[in-house]
Amino acid sequence: MGGPVTPGPPDEDPRLPLPEAAVPGGRAPGDGAPGVPVPGGPGPEATAGAAAPAAAGGGAGERRLHPFTPLRRAWVPIAATVGVIAQQGDRAGQWIADLSTLLRLAAVAGLVLVFGVYGFLSWWFTHYAVTDTELRIRSGLIFRRAAHIRLDRIQAIDVTRPLLARLTGVASLRLDVIGAEAKDELAFLGEPQAVALRAELLARAAGFAPAEAVRLGEAPERELLRVRPRDVVVSLLLSLGVWAALAGGIAMPVLVWWFSSNPWVAVFTLLPMLGAVWAGTAGRFLTEYDWTVAESPDGLRLDHGLLDRAHETVPPGRVQSVRIVEPLLWRRRDWVRVELAVAGSKNGVLVPVASRAAAHAVIARVLPGVDLAALSFSGSPARGARWVVPVWWKGYALAVSPDVFAARHGRLCRRTEVVPHAKVQSVRLTQGPWERARGLADLHVDTGADGTVTARLRATAEAAALLAAQAARAHTSRAAARPDRWMT
């Protein structure tokens, strides 16, 4: 992100001001901690919204996407044509070979013209408009589609910049709407226009008047954490899953070739294995490169990516649970990975790798008032648990505080899941026949993100008491919880 910018006085921005205190638990740069808290000011996005108020407009009329969009739309018929030709195989090749050079050039020119016209018309018939209560998107050349997205149902707006889009100065907006299975997308907009539109939508969702929403622009932000690329590389090298994927990618095709004696079978086996290895190594590095966590009145902002740059917002009120992952080879460095479960959205990463202290400081922004370092975990009773799950039973533990319910499991890769009492939807107790014989039970806490946190192998009497107590804590906390609102 850019150099720090000093935010204006609170009376210049009617939204709630950011807290003044710096994030605790940080380390100075260069001391080996992968996450370095930086007490800077707002980044370049803080002024991007104000730089293009004219591009965003007042929301009264319909607006079009960036003129670059037709090139993106033209790829659809191109891909379809290539697929049809590939399906015909040798017949298509023979037919093309029989054509004269002039006819080939004419065919290519005709296809380019058709695809170009298709992309232009798709762009021409796509409009969007912002009203006081909703975002309207109209699209479709033959089959018309109209989407009416209520502003009070928007829970996150992400700005994404794929590599080609970054080269041409455009970006896309992805809207995470409550109740929608897939994210709605506006692609593409000019980068200043995308940032300004995002700020306008968030401000209107918070209840500001249209003119005031445009004037406010992008909310200021304070950088909390920046993960160095070097530490991302080291974390991948210290992950057992990466080495397992590499070993499988090498061994599996060799074994298939050995038993089948068919090199083509080995090649087709190798391709998906290479895809898995890429996703777990180079793909993960490209995604987590220059990972930055910043705080703003909208929520926590995540900025990351080497080729495709993503700018995401995590509204803390929508976070249902937090997962802290500690791979075996990371523990010597005291590194952790933090993942989130957000209602209405897929699970995401909050911090790819950071020191425990820096990660806890960021989690404190998501779960205010929760001190994870103060949690006291109790393990499963050894007398019965060792016979139900030999060896691995030592990885199970449970902690309960006035604010959260936490469960831990795993020995090679330890995972700690934390659920605020106010986010608990239901509590269940289960017993298998083997557990019942040993006087043990499992306690399940269900959240609003279709997730479950399980405290395994507790004594039956303890599990029953925990069930009643957790149900009471959840009821009390939900009654006292503040509503999930933007900028509150």
**Residue 410, C-beta contacts closer than 8 angstroms, at least 6 positions apart:** 395
Query: What's the confidence (pLDDT) of residue 30?
Result: 39
What digits encode the pLDDT tens for the residues 271-298? 888 888 888 889 999 999 999 999 988 7
Cβ–Cβ < 8 Å for 55, 193:
yes
Residue 46 pLDDT more than 50? no
Query: What's the confidence (pLDDT) of residue 11?
Result: 38
Q: What is the percent of the chain where pLDDT is above 90?
A: 40
Cβ–Cβ < 8 Å for 397, 382:
no
Query: What's the confidence (pLDDT) of residue 70?
Result: 72
Return the CATH number of the domain spanning residue range 42-65+126-220: 2.30.29
Residue 476 pLDDT more than 80? yes
Query: What's the confidence (pLDDT) of residue 122?
Result: 82
Query: What's the confidence (pLDDT) of residue 97?
Result: 63
Query: What's the confidence (pLDDT) of residue 167?
Result: 86
37-41, 116-120, 319-323, 431-435: the lowest-pLDDT one: 37-41
| CA distance linking residue 272 with residue 284, whole number of Å | 16
Query: What's the confidence (pLDDT) of residue 58?
Result: 39
| CA distance linking residue 150 with residue 388, whole number of Å | 51
| 349, amino acid identity | V
Instruction: Report the range out of 57-66, 118-127, 412-421 with the highest average pLDDT.
Output: 412-421
> By C-alpha distance, which of 272, 284, 408, 417 is closest to 338?
417
316 or 370, greater pLDDT: 370
Residue 406 pLDDT more than 60? yes
Query: What's the confidence (pLDDT) of residue 262?
Result: 75
Query: What's the confidence (pLDDT) of residue 155?
Result: 76
Burial of 363 (0-12, 13-18, 19+ CB in 10 A): buried
Residue 163 pLDDT more than 80? yes
What digits encode the pLDDT tens for the residues 13-25? 433 344 433 333 3
| CA distance linking residue 361 with residue 427, whole number of Å | 29
| Spacing of C-alpha 418 from chain mean position | 18
| CA distance linking residue 408 with residue 424, whole number of Å | 17
Kindly list the domain boundaries of the chain, sorted by start residue.
42-65+126-220, 70-124, 229-288, 292-480
Query: What's the confidence (pLDDT) of residue 218?
Result: 72
> pLDDT tier at 100 (50, 70, 90 boundaries)?
low
> By C-alpha distance, which of 325, 304, 285 is closest to 226?
304
> pLDDT tier at 448 (50, 70, 90 boundaries)?
confident
Kindly report the number of other CB atoms within 10 A of residue 247's CB atom.
11
> pLDDT tier at 80 (50, 70, 90 boundaries)?
low
| CA distance linking residue 198 with residue 296, whole number of Å | 14
304-308, 353-357, 477-481: the lowest-pLDDT one: 477-481
Q: Each residue of 365-377: b (16+ CB within 10 Å) or e?
A: bbbeebebeebee
Residue 28 pLDDT more than 60? no
**Residue 400, C-beta contacts closer than 8 angstroms, at least 6 positions apart:** 406, 466, 469, 470
Give the predicted TM-score (pTM) of the model.
0.76
What digits encode the pLDDT tens for the residues 341-374? 987 666 689 999 999 999 999 999 999 889 999 9
**Residue 202, C-beta contacts closer than 8 angstroms, at least 6 positions apart:** 157, 219, 298, 486, 487
SS3 169: coil
Mean pLDDT in residue range 402-419: 96
> By C-alpha distance, which of 351, 348, 294 is closest to 321?
348
Cβ–Cβ < 8 Å for 41, 83:
no
Query: What's the confidence (pLDDT) of residue 76?
Result: 60
148-162, 411-425, 474-488: the lowest-pLDDT one: 474-488
212 or 241, greater pLDDT: 241
Mean pLDDT in residue range 382-394: 88
| CA distance linking residue 144 with residue 125, whole number of Å | 9
